[in-house]
Amino acid sequence: MNNIITACVILGMMVACMPERESFPLPEDTPQEPVGEQLFEVLKNPASGYNAIAIDPLNPDLPQDFKERWDQAVQNVHEWVYSGSSGRMLHSMYIRFGQRDTVDVVALYHLRASSNKVLARWTYTMALDDNGVGRLEFVRQNGNGNILGPIISPLLAYFLEEHDFRVRWVDETISVHPTEGTRLGGFFRTDNPSSFVFGTLTNVPAIDNDNWPLPSTPSLDKFFKIENPVDAPYYTSVLINPDDPAQSQGFRDLWTAVKTDLQNSSGRQLHQMLFVFDPEFARLRILVYYYTATGSRTSAFYRYVPALHYDDRIRLLFNSEDGNAALIRDSRLMDNFLEAHDFVISETQSAPSGGGKYLTFTSTTTPSISFFGELGNRAANCCAFWPE
C-alpha cells in the first residue's frame, strides 16, 4: 500500500486535511534514433550536432567550376545598384537542413555604407532517395532573397536550382581539412562529377544575423583560440602599440611619418590601434586612438571585412568609416598599406612585455614591414578602455 502524506490547513475553526498528490518519477528521455552513415541522415538528425554545410569561398580545394561562379556572383553584387546605393560585398553561403525535407540556402553579405551584416534566404524542399540524390524545389524566399536572387544567378538559378545533386561526404581525394576532426560534406551534380560545392559541417541554431558560421580556415583555431576559455572561445582583439621599439623599423617609420604630419597639420596626435573582430570573424573594426588638438582622448573607427585565407593570410576589405576616421585618414597608412597588402599571421615567440599572447602581421608585398599586437577580448569602445 502506498504511503500518502496528508496536508492540513485551517479553514475558519475547522481543520481540513487532504491527501497530497503522489509524485511519480519523470519518464526517461525517449532515445534518439541512431545517426545514419549517409551525410543527409547526419544533417537531418538533431542527435548528430550538425545541420548545415558552411561554404567558405576561400577554401583552396573548391573546384574551378564553383570558383568561377562565385567570382562572377561577387562581381555582380559589387556592381549592383539597389535603391540608389551600391557597394555590397558577398561574404559566404551555407545550406541548412530542417524538418520534413526542408532545405534553406542562405547567402551572407555586407553593406559597404555601414557595418551591417545582411542575409538572403531561399527555402526549398529536397526529397532525397536512398542514395542521397534529389533536386531543390523552390518554396519561398525572404525580401533580401527576392532582390538578391537574380544578382547571384550563377550560383543559384544556374547551379543549385538547375541540377540534381547527391548529398554526400567529401573524400580525401577532393579535400582534407588541416584541422583534425573537421568534417566536410557537399552537393555533387549527378550529371557532371567535376561540378560540386562543399564545406565544413556546422550547426546553425537559427537563420538570423547572429548565427553566421565561422570561417573554416585553420588559422582561426591556430592563432585565436583560447586554450582554457572561461567565456569566449576565441580572442577577438589585437592591441597594437606602433611606437614600441620592438616593432619593425619599416612600420615604425611609416607610423612616425603619418603621426608627425597629422600633428603638424591639425594638432591631432595618434596614439595606438586596436583590431576588434566580431564573434563570427565576419567583421573587423580598426579602432585608432588619438588626442584631439585640445588634448582630449578620442578614437576613430575603420570597418572591414576580414578575408581569412587557409595559408595564414588575411586581407582587410574596406567597408566603411566614421566621421573621426575621415579626419585622420592618411593614404600612406590606410589605403596603401593596411588596405592594399595581404598579411601573414604568425605567433610572436618573444613577447615584448606583459606575458600575454602576441600575433605578428607581416606584409607579403614588403616582408620587411610587419607589426605585432597583444591578443585579448577588448571591446571596440573608446570610452571603456584607453591604452597607456
Sheet holding 52-55, edge to edge: 133-134, 165-169, 184-189, 196-202, 52-55, 88-97, 102-111, 117-125, 137-141
Q: Collapsing DSSP states into helix, strand and coil, what is residue 22?
A: coil
**How far apart, in whole angstroms, are the C-alpha atoms of residue 60 and residue 162?**
25
> Which DSSP state fits 57?
T
The four Cα atoms 380, 313, 282, 110 give a dihedral, to 10 degrees, of 110
CB 358 within 8 A of CB 351: yes
- What pLDDT, on a 0 to 100 scale, did the predictor assign at position 355? 65
E strand map for 56-101: 88-97
- What pLDDT, on a 0 to 100 scale, did the predictor assign at position 20? 45
> Which DSSP state fits 29?
P
In Å, the largest CA–CA distance within the chain is 94
> Which DSSP state fits 212?
P
Segments of the chain with pLDDT less than 50: 1-24, 26-28, 30-31
Residue type, 32: Q
Say which residues have a Cβ less than 8 Å from residue 100's Cβ, sequence separation at least 6.
Answer: 125
- What pLDDT, on a 0 to 100 scale, did the predictor assign at position 349? 63
pTM greater than 0.75? yes
Say which residues have a Cβ less than 8 Å from residue 172's Cβ, sequence separation at least 6.
Answer: none
- What pLDDT, on a 0 to 100 scale, did the predictor assign at position 383? 64
> Which DSSP state fits 33?
P
- What pLDDT, on a 0 to 100 scale, did the predictor assign at position 354? 56
- What pLDDT, on a 0 to 100 scale, did the predictor assign at position 230? 85
- What pLDDT, on a 0 to 100 scale, did the predictor assign at position 24? 45
Q: Collapsing DSSP states into helix, strand and coil, what is residue 137?
A: strand
**How far apart, in whole angstroms, are the C-alpha atoms of residue 313 and residue 58?**
11
- What pLDDT, on a 0 to 100 scale, did the predictor assign at position 351? 56
- What pLDDT, on a 0 to 100 scale, did the predictor assign at position 348? 85
Which of 298, 341, 290 is closest to 318 using CA atoms? Answer: 341
E strand map for 112-171: 117-125, 133-134, 137-141, 165-169
**How far apart, in whole angstroms, are the C-alpha atoms of residue 92 and residue 280?**
12
- What pLDDT, on a 0 to 100 scale, did the predictor assign at position 85? 78
The four Cα atoms 84, 87, 330, 255 give a dihedral, to 10 degrees, of 150
- What pLDDT, on a 0 to 100 scale, did the predictor assign at position 5? 38
